[in-house]
Structure 1
Amino acid sequence: MARLLKWLSWAMGIADVAIGALHLTTGLAAVPGAGSPGPTVDSLVRFFSAIFLGYGLAWIWVARQSPIPSRAVRLLAGVFFLGGASRLLSWAALGRPNWFQLVLMGIELALPPLYFWLSTADERETAARSRQTGVTTPGPARSTP
């Protein structure tokens, strides 16, 4: 399970960086069905692409940690789910988007529960290995009352 979490975290990070970079460099041309709404919307798309690129870098950072921090996975997966929920809100408010946006929405709503389920896998496996070898790894600082 930990290997799947690591692989999915890397895949999410690389995909998001690539998508963010594509949108940053090509603007509205990278948005299926966008047409040419003008410079304001293009500016908005390019701005959000930089945020998306940063989001992908955050996933890559998470994938490089050992163990992969479950809190960070849940936070990033929650943001991803919020993106899918936002697409649902847009659909309800303005109507059905391009078919490709529906595919993206499905991914954005389906993957986060998987990430939530896997979020503690690496921490659990690291703790189990530590118990087997008798080596303890420092955990988060906790205060005692």
Structure 2
Amino acid sequence: MSRHAIERRALQLVVAIACLVPLSIGGISVVQGPVWLGGASVIPTDLDSQFRYVSGIFLGLGLAFVTCIPAIERKDARFRWLGLLVVAGGLARALSWATVGAPSTGHRLGLAMELGVVPLLMLWQARVARGRR
């Protein structure tokens, strides 16, 4: 197996593992709403609706990333657009931290994924795509 093929397989595996986050958290959040996070057991209906809507987008984002895995070296534009959406969400989360205060540990880990791991995956995917050419 060539170095390029090994790197491609490694990227596919890492992206598949990373997809478990939006698929599981998004799915749980759509079904259960914000109550599963703890805190208030009574959530205003509009806040619950918005939380589930955003969770559905998060779930859909995970599914969209999954579609990149089979031919990841040829999914440049899709992978970049999806990554951009994640980074934009991370920047919004960082703004919340700066203006409202530090979120819980789970959300801090999300921020690390959004502004750290995903940009690195985008760079890796671009490298694998260049190796294909």
Percent of residue pairs identical: 27
Cα distance in 1 for residues equivalent to 2:93 and 2:40: 15
Aligned partners of 2:72 and 2:125 also within 8 Å: no
Residues 34 and 21 of structure 1, relative CA distance in 2, 3 Å threshold: same
- Give the equivalent residue in structure 1 for 2:23: 17
Residues 33, 98 of structure 1: 8 Å contact kept: no
| Structure 2 runs not aligned, ≥5 long | 1-6
> Do the aligned partners of residues 113 and 29 (structure 1) sit closer, same or farther apart at CA in structure 2, a change above 3 Å counting?
same
Q: 80, 83, 92: which is aligned to 2:98?
A: 92
Give the aligned partner of residue 4 of structure 2.
none
CA distance in 1, matches of 2:106, 2:19: 20
Query: Superposition RMSD on alpha carbons, in Å?
Result: 2.1
TM-aligned CA distance change 1:107 to 1:32, over 3 Å: farther
Alignment of 1:63-82 (within 5 A): 63-65=69-71, 67-82=73-88
| Aligned residues between the structures | 127
**Matching of residue 59 in structure 1 with residue 98 in structure 2:** no
Residue 8 of structure 1, CA deviation: 2.4
Is the partner of 2:102 in helix, strand or coil?
Answer: coil
1:38 aligns with 2:44: yes
Aligned partner letter, 2:64: A
CA contact (8 A) 1:5 1:118 kept: yes
Q: Once the 2 structures are TM-superposed, how far is the Cα of residue 81 of structure 1 from its aligned partner? A: 1.4
- Alpha-carbon contact 1:5-1:121 (below 8 Å) kept: no
Please say which structure displays the higher CA radius of gyration: 1
Q: Offset at 1:33?
A: 5.2
| CA-CA distance at 1:69 after TM superposition | 1.2
Question: AA paired with 1:54?
Answer: G
Q: Provide the C-alpha distance between the structure 1 equivalents of 2:64 and 2:106, rounded to a whole number of angstroms.
A: 25
How far does residue 51 in structure 1 lie from its aligned partner after superposition? 0.9
Which string of whole-angstrom CA distances, capped at 9 and with x for unpartnered residues, describes residues 66-93 of structure 1? 6341222222122111111111101122
